[in-house]
Structure formats: C-alpha cells, structure tokens
Amino acid sequence: MSLDKTHIKEEGHDVKRGRASRRSRNGKVSERINYEEKLKDHEIKTEDEEVKETNGRKREKAVTESGSKEVNRKRTRRKTKSKEEETKEDINDEPQIKKKKKNNKITSVDKGGIWNAFENAEKCKAKSFALFLRNQRQWVAKPLDNATIKKWHEASQNFPVHLILPHGSYIMNLGSPVPEILKKSRDMLLEELQRCEKLGIPHYNFHPGSTVGKISREECCRCIAESINLAHDQTKDVICVLENMSCQGFTIGGDLHELRLIIEHVKDRSRVGVCLDTCHAHAAGYDLSTEDGLNKFLDDFGKIIGWQFLRGIHMNDSKGESGDHKDRHENIGRGKIGIAGFQRIMNCEHFNDVPLILETPWTSNEGYGKEISKLEGLIKK
C-alpha cells in the first residue's frame, strides 16, 4: 500500500489549510495541499445569523411609522456592530490567507484558474489531489466558462481524473431546518455536481449537515438524503461522498448509523459513498491510537455501512483525546493517535487503493513531503 494525493484549492482564497495523499498499487507517495482546520460549526453560525436577520426583517415590518426612526437607529447600531465583528474575524484569518498565496501553496482563481491544480500536483509529485471548485465561504459563485472548462480538460489529459476528490463548502447544510438555508444548500450541491460533470470529475466529498439544534437527528438524516436525491435527479454520474464527523455540536455523521440512515434513503446507492476521517473518528470516540480501538472502528464500519461504500480516507492526527468531540487536526505523529496508530492504519487491507488525504496543519511543501514519506515508511514490505 502507499500514499499519494495533493489537495489544491481553486476559488476559495480564504480557505483553511492542509494537504492530502493517496495510496496506490505502485507504492508511491505524493502530496496534497489543502485546508488546515475546518471552520468549526461554521454552518451552524451561518444559519443562526440568517435566522436572526429574518426575524429582524419581520420585526421591522411590524414597527409603526411613528416609532420607526428610533427602532431603525438601534437596529443600525446592531448591524454596524455585527459588521465590525465579521470584519474582525476576517482580519484574524487574513495573515494566513496572504501567507498561503505568497508561498503559492494553494491554487486559486486569482492565480490563474483551476487548471493550475495539475501543475501544482506535478510539482508535488502527486498522483491525485483535491480542490474547492468555488469560493467555499460564499453562496454565489461565477459559473464555469467554456475557456476554463477547455483549459481544465487540456491540463487533465494525462491525469487520472478519478483520483480527484473535490471538497464541498463548509457553509452548505443539506439537512437544515431553515427553509432559506436548505434551498441555498441544495442549489449549491446541484451546481457543484454539475461543475464536476463539466470537468469530468466522478466524486464530490462534503460534510453531511447539521440539525442546528432545531430538529431531530433522524429528520436531519432524511433531509440530507432527500437533498442528495434531488441533486441526483438532475445530474447523471457524479458520486456524493459523505464524510464521517467528530460529533461536534449538532453535526450529523459522527455516529456511523447516521451515515447508514442517509445512505438507506438515497434512491441510487451506486452514487453515494463515504470518506473516513481519522481525526473525526478518534474525536467521535474510536480510540485509533490502540489496536483494539482501530479494530472496533473497522468492524463497525464494515457491519454498519459496508466497505463497498468506502471512497477515501482523510489522514489526520488529532490534537484532542478520543471522544472529546473536537475537530482539531494535528500533524501525523504529533497528536493523540500517534505513529503506532498510523502504522496500523497504513497497513489496513481495507484501505488498499483508496485515496488517502492529508489535512494536517500547514508547514511547507518540503514538510508535507516528509510527512508523506513518514507515512509511506510505516507500510510493511
């Protein structure tokens, strides 16, 4: 078994960092450049903000003309404060964004287009890679034009596109109880699958969704499945790849039974799969630092979901202890899973010929290469 994968972001210039790799038959390893730590509960915050805005609009309509000036002044102050807080959050992220652009670690639209992902993959000696097909923190994205599609296909002529695994936006919530957010999320999923079709990419990976504390988990799972069905009805071949989660907040997918429930309600099960994240599994309660913990996880996945649905692995160490329900990625060997844990993972027969994706904290291309070599060195000859 071996690793090789590169993660490259396209339009999401404000995306977190990381990278990836993939296991292949020829035993070679390559690298992926990606996001560092995901936006913790970003979809939940986004929905709460939009619910507040909606309620605010309803209250505004109810205000009488005589008292509207004072109410509007108060509301303006609240909105101004909210904008200041959003600006503050953006400022906190910006140094990392600029650093990544400066170091050319992530491919984005302003650096030439998504077709540059192949050049970056070649520089990293990657045999596969992942990318964002749009700015992952915005609902609206510019459509792919014919020139972009043509350049992508020209660049991909000598690359196995089935080894490309795009990652979905973190603001998308396909199980949202908020009608406006649900519609936006479903529109986004459909658009993303259509982008994949135009580019000839067969897989699309995303986080399942969140109840945001307003509906039952079963209702949310059924809603997610229906969202997938609606997108499938309007597309042909792209496979939706669900990711297991860490049980953080109200997110769906930390319990493998939830992923199974979603799959059971997807009409075309040939077009749905699962990507396993080691950090998420560890945080959800499977102690992957021990042989018993890994065996328990593998046994549960095989019985609850089935290995025929496995489409990829996100290889991440965990900053937190097993069962802490915190999605905090760490570099391989520096976290709580540890080298011994990853040695067992790297020699798991179920992961043969499955893309292995590194999403560990950013260091450098050289650092990524060393990290991949470290993992590759754990494979028993």
Based on the residue annotation, tell me whether 170 is a catalytic residue of this protein: yes
Based on the residue annotation, tell me whether 13 is a catalytic residue of this protein: no
Distance CA 20, CA 22 (A): 7
Residue 269 near residue 307, CB atoms below 8 Å: no
Selected catalytic residue, list 203, 207, 282, 344: 207
Based on the residue annotation, tell me whether 277 is a catalytic residue of this protein: yes
| Neighbouring C-alpha atoms within 13 Å toward the C-beta of 56 | 13
- Residue 244 region by backbone torsions, left for phi larger than 0, else alpha for psi between -120 and 50, else beta: beta
Selected catalytic residue, list 19, 280, 328, 344: 280
Selected catalytic residue, list 4, 31, 43, 243: 243
Selected catalytic residue, list 4, 13, 47, 170: 170
- CA end-to-end distance (rounded Å), the chain: 9
Selected catalytic residue, list 282, 314, 328, 344: 314
Based on the residue annotation, tell me whether 268 is a catalytic residue of this protein: no
Selected catalytic residue, list 4, 11, 192, 327: 327
Selected catalytic residue, list 255, 277, 324, 376: 277
Based on the residue annotation, tell me whether 327 is a catalytic residue of this protein: yes
Distance CA 316, CA 345 (A): 11
Selected catalytic residue, list 32, 134, 167, 186: 167
Distance CA 192, CA 157 (A): 22
Give the residue carrying structure tokens 């997610």.
Answer: 224
Based on the residue annotation, tell me whether 359 is a catalytic residue of this protein: yes
Selected catalytic residue, list 7, 19, 134, 137: 137
Joined tokens for residue 219: 């209702």
Selected catalytic residue, list 4, 329, 344, 371: 329
Based on the residue annotation, tell me whether 167 is a catalytic residue of this protein: yes
Catalytic amino acids?
137, 167, 170, 207, 243, 277, 280, 314, 327, 329, 359
